[in-house]
Amino acid sequence: MKLLVTGGAGFIGSAVVRQAVAAGHGVVNVDCLTYAACLENVASVAASPLYAFEQVDIRDAEALARVFVAHRPDAVMHLAAESHVDRSIDGPGAFIDTNVRGTYTLLEAARAYWQDQGRPESFRFHHISTDEVFGSLGPEGQFTEETPYDPRSPYSASKAASDHLVRAWHHTYGLPVVLSNCSNNYGPFHFPEKLIPVVILNALAGRPVPVYGQGLNVRDWLYVEDHAAALLMVLEKGAVGRSYNIGGENEATNIDLVRKICAILDRKRPDAAPHAGLIEFVTDRPGHDLRYAIDATRIRSELGWKPSVTLDEGLERTVDWYLANESWWRPLQARQGVGERLGVAR
């Protein structure tokens, strides 16, 4: 099978690209290489005859049409998105433009190609989204595929809109789609502005480790390689028109997560004082959702997927990766906005 993967130079997209090539799939990586993209993420497969790269913006209809005709994919995996909540608070326009208009443009390109090919039943458009579209949970309960949408940030609102577009293109035009909504990802190649890399890299440098509010916000953490495996399974086995929630079954408060990472660093890179002493509670971001949690019953029961990596195992692997790959993350720290406090606008 040949896959057209958008955002394949990003964090989750590159994990999908690496796994897909390893599984013998052809992959066309479509990425416009924004600040958070890095082609080193896919360097391990770049020389494979199964891999091709196209530097294309998903908002460019003409370029997308050319890519579809040139590569003739059997499926689309749409991961390209602006995804950092804090950046969406400071500059929501880019999120609407990429996540909404970009998804619309890609849907139209995929639909035109699918129709030109005779509307093959085997074609798939897999839209990858987030659990943030469901809003915020209290101390109990989990998000299911039937949970009403209640996005609270410009980022989650833009992703909710893109989810609705994908469903509309299925119901109106018959485009064969599958959707998935995931919990928080972490692991190798995670861009340095996100929470877990910030904790690791700040602690290594002896800088304050910022924690929003009192650190009581809860997230369900999903190791990125587990997520990539789930996405490929949804693509190949998921029912057309169906959505699948993908979670790590690893809930933790932010403060507990940060302390776990600090404890790992105490063992692997001991300093004069425990790294947890660097924790600094800072002003919370506006509209910070209290808790996310995924009920992954559907993907477990229908497709047989479940996470293979516990949070403790995944954090160990992630810390080890950052310790061994300074040449990857060091240059990225110089990119625009990295290391700055974002998302404080009201």
Residues with a known catalytic role: 131-132, 155
Q: Phi first, then psi: what are they for 280, rounded to 5°?
A: -135, 120
Instruction: Count CB neighbours of 301 within 10 A.
Output: 9
Could you tell me where the DSSP H helices lie in the chain?
11-22, 61-71, 85-90, 92-95, 102-116, 154-173, 195-205, 224-237, 254-268, 297-298, 311-324, 326-332
Burial 237-263 (b: 16+ CB within 10 A, else e): ebeeebbbbbbbbbbbbbbebbbbbbe
Strand partners, 28: 4, 52
- C-alpha span between 67 and 99 (Å, rounded): 20
Tokens read off for 188: 């190798």
